[in-house]
Amino acid sequence: MARIAIAGFQHETNTFSPVPATFADFEAPDAWPGLTRGEPMLEAVAGINLPAAGFAREARSLHHELVPLLWCSAQPSGPVTRDAFERVSSLLIDDLRAHRTVDAVYLDLHGAMVAEHVDDADGEILQRVRRVVGPAVPVVASLDFHANLSRAMATAATALVSYRTYPHVDMADCGARAARVMHELLRGARATSCIEQADFLIPLTSQSTLNEPLRSLMAEAEAAERAPLLSVCLTPGFPAADVADCGPAVYACGTDEPATTRVVRRLAAELCRREGEFALELFPVAEAVARVTQSPVPRGRPIVLADTQDNPGAGGNADTMSLLKALVASGAKRVLAGVICDPGAAARAHAAGEGATVELSLGARTATAGETPLEARFKVRALGDGRFTGTGPFYRGGRFELGPMALLELGEVQIAVASRKQQAADQAMFRHLRAEPAEYSVLALKSSVHFRADFGPIASAVLVVEAPGPNVADPARLPFERLRPGMRTSPRRRAP
C-alpha cells in the first residue's frame, strides 16, 4: 500500500480567443465541480466521468491510500491568467509540500493549457511537482485526447496516460488506467518514455474516434499497450493553440527502451501515412439549411447541425445567431437549438413566466464579427433552474449548474437558453426544459464532436456547419506565429 497525492487542474486553451480564464472561472462549478480542496475533492468528482474519479476508484481497489490536494477546471477559453495559474499552482504545490511523505503523485491534467506567461502550462506544473518530490517518486498524469503533448511533459512525468475516445466517453476509464500504471511503478517497474510529434494539425471535427482514420489508429494504440509497455498515447492535439508544441503526438512509456521506441516510431509513421484522411468537410450555413428543408426526416431521427465554430467546449461563447436566423427564415419545421448562453434573456423569460410572450434581443453578447442578436417576440415554453445531472455517455454523472434556463419559441424554432455557457453534448440539457430531442426534425447544437456520444444514436444525419464563431474549424485560417518550423496548418490531401 502506498500514499498517493491526487490533484486535478484542467484547461483547454484556445489562444485565439480574447476571453481569458480567471481564478473565478476555476472556482465556479459548471457540468464539473468548481475548485475543491482536500478531502471534499474526492466527493466532488465521485461518480462523474472524470479521470480523477476513475483514478481514485481504481487506486483504492488496489489498496492505496489517497491524499487529495485539489481539483478544478474552467471552460475552454483564451489563456489562463497569470493570477489564476499561479494561485492554483501554489495551492497545489503548497498542499503537496505539506504532505511530504507521499510515495507518488497523480495529476488529472488536460495537456493543452496555456497561461498568459507560460506556453506549456501542463509541462510547467509537472516540472514544479517533480522539483518538490525529487527524481525517484512516481509522477503519473492523465491527459485529455486534445493534449498538445510536449517533451517537457514527457520528461517531467514518470508516465502519461491519455483518453482514447472523442467524444470522450472514457475519461474515468483513463484515470483507472493511470492508477494501474501507477501501481506497476510502485511495485518497482522502471519505465523509460519516448515521444514523437507529427508535423501537421488535425481539425477538431476530423478527430472523432467514431470515424476513420482515428477509429483504427486508436485501436492500434490500444493494442500496443501491453507488456513491456505500460502506456501508449496517441493525442491528436488541440489545434487552436499558437504554441510550439501544438499538434498531434505519439507517446509511450515502458520497461524496455527499444520496444518503447519501436512502438512510438511505428504508430507515428502510421499516423503520418494516413494524413490525407483527416481532411475537413464543412457545410456553409445556406447549404446546411437547404438540406434540412429539402430532405425528408425520418420520425424520431432528427438531422443534427453541429454549430462547431461557436462550440463553448473549444473556446466559443454559445451566442452566435447566424445558423439560428437562417433556420428561422427557412421555414424549417420542428427545430430545437441550443444551448445559447444569454443570462439577460434567461432572466427576462423567468420574470415573464411560462406561457408569457417576451420581446428579446437574443444572443450576440460577445463580439464575433458581423454577428447581431435575434430580435423577436418569443413565447416562454418552459423554465428551469439549470441544475440537473448529465445522463449521456460524455457528461455522465456531471452535476450541471447552468443558472436560470428557458426554452423559447419562435414559430417552428425552439431555443434552449442558459445563464452559463456549456457545450450541447447531453440530451439532459434539453430535457431539463421538457424538450425531448428525438421528437424534433432538426437539432442545431453548439458542439463540435462530443454531441455524437448522446445525440449520434438518434441522428439520421450529421452536418458540420461553418457558421461564424471564435472556434475556427479550419486551422489553416488561423493566424499562427509560433508553431514549430515546418508545421502544416491543415492535413495534406492525398495525391489524386
Binding site for Zn ion (CB under 5 A): 144-146
- For the chain, what's the residue count? 496
- Cβ 163 to Zn ion shortest distance, Å: 7
Instruction: State which residue, 122 or 144, has the beta carbon closest to Zn ion.
Output: 144
Residue nearest to Zn ion (CB): 146
The CB-based long-range contact list for 376-380 (8 Å cut-off, 24+ gap) reads 376/328, 376/410, 377/410, 378/349, 378/408, 378/409, 378/410, 378/415, 379/355, 379/408, 379/409, 379/410, 380/349, 380/352, 380/353, 380/354, 380/355, 380/356, 380/406, 380/407, 380/408, 380/409
- Cβ 211 to Zn ion shortest distance, Å: 16
Instruction: State which residue, 146 or 348, has the beta carbon closest to Zn ion.
Output: 146
| DSSP-based three-state secondary structure for 413 | strand
- Cβ 112 to Zn ion shortest distance, Å: 8
Q: Could you tell me whether strands 3-10 and 104-109 are parallel, antiparallel, or unpaired per DSSP bridges?
A: parallel
Q: Could you identify the residue written with the cell 461518480?
A: 47
Q: Which residues contact 162 (CB under 8 A, 6 or more apart)?
A: 111, 142, 143, 144, 145, 147, 149, 174, 233, 234, 235, 251
- Cβ 111 to Zn ion shortest distance, Å: 9
- Cβ 109 to Zn ion shortest distance, Å: 12
Instruction: State which residue, 10 or 490, has the beta carbon closest to Zn ion.
Output: 10
CA dist., res. 363 & res. 375, Å (int): 9
- Cβ 101 to Zn ion shortest distance, Å: 34
C-alpha cell at 32: 464539473
Instruction: State which residue, 322 or 471, has the beta carbon closest to Zn ion.
Output: 471
Side-chain-side CA neighbours of residue 233 (13 Å):
36
- Cβ 423 to Zn ion shortest distance, Å: 10
In this structure, how many other beta carbons lie within 10 angstroms of the beta carbon of residue 335? 24
Closest CA to 120 of 39, 241, 274: 241
- Cβ 314 to Zn ion shortest distance, Å: 8
- Cβ 347 to Zn ion shortest distance, Å: 31
- Cβ 197 to Zn ion shortest distance, Å: 18
Terminal C-alpha separation, the chain:
58
| DSSP-based three-state secondary structure for 414 | strand
CA dist., res. 420 & res. 32, Å (int): 13
For residue 197, list its beta bridge partners.
249
Q: Could you tell me whether strands 442-445 and 303-306 are parallel, antiparallel, or unpaired per DSSP bridges?
A: parallel
Instruction: State which residue, 302 or 390, has the beta carbon closest to Zn ion.
Output: 390
Which letter does DSSP use for residue 295 in this model?
S
- Cβ 238 to Zn ion shortest distance, Å: 7
Instruction: State which residue, 239 or 302, has the beta carbon closest to Zn ion.
Output: 239
Helices 285-294 + 322-330 axis angle, to 10: 30
- Cβ 144 to Zn ion shortest distance, Å: 4
CA dist., res. 438 & res. 435, Å (int): 9
Instruction: State which residue, 144 or 401, has the beta carbon closest to Zn ion.
Output: 144
C-alpha cell at 416: 434552449
Instruction: State which residue, 175 or 404, has the beta carbon closest to Zn ion.
Output: 175
Amino acid at 168: H
Instruction: State which residue, 103 or 310, has the beta carbon closest to Zn ion.
Output: 310
Instruction: State which residue, 144 or 466, has the beta carbon closest to Zn ion.
Output: 144
Instruction: State which residue, 352 or 449, has the beta carbon closest to Zn ion.
Output: 449
- Cβ 353 to Zn ion shortest distance, Å: 39
C-alpha cell at 312: 463553448
Instruction: State which residue, 311 or 366, has the beta carbon closest to Zn ion.
Output: 311
CA dist., res. 7 & res. 95, Å (int): 10
CA dist., res. 138 & res. 5, Å (int): 11
Instruction: State which residue, 161 or 442, has the beta carbon closest to Zn ion.
Output: 161
- Whether 188 contacts 141, CB under 8 Å: no
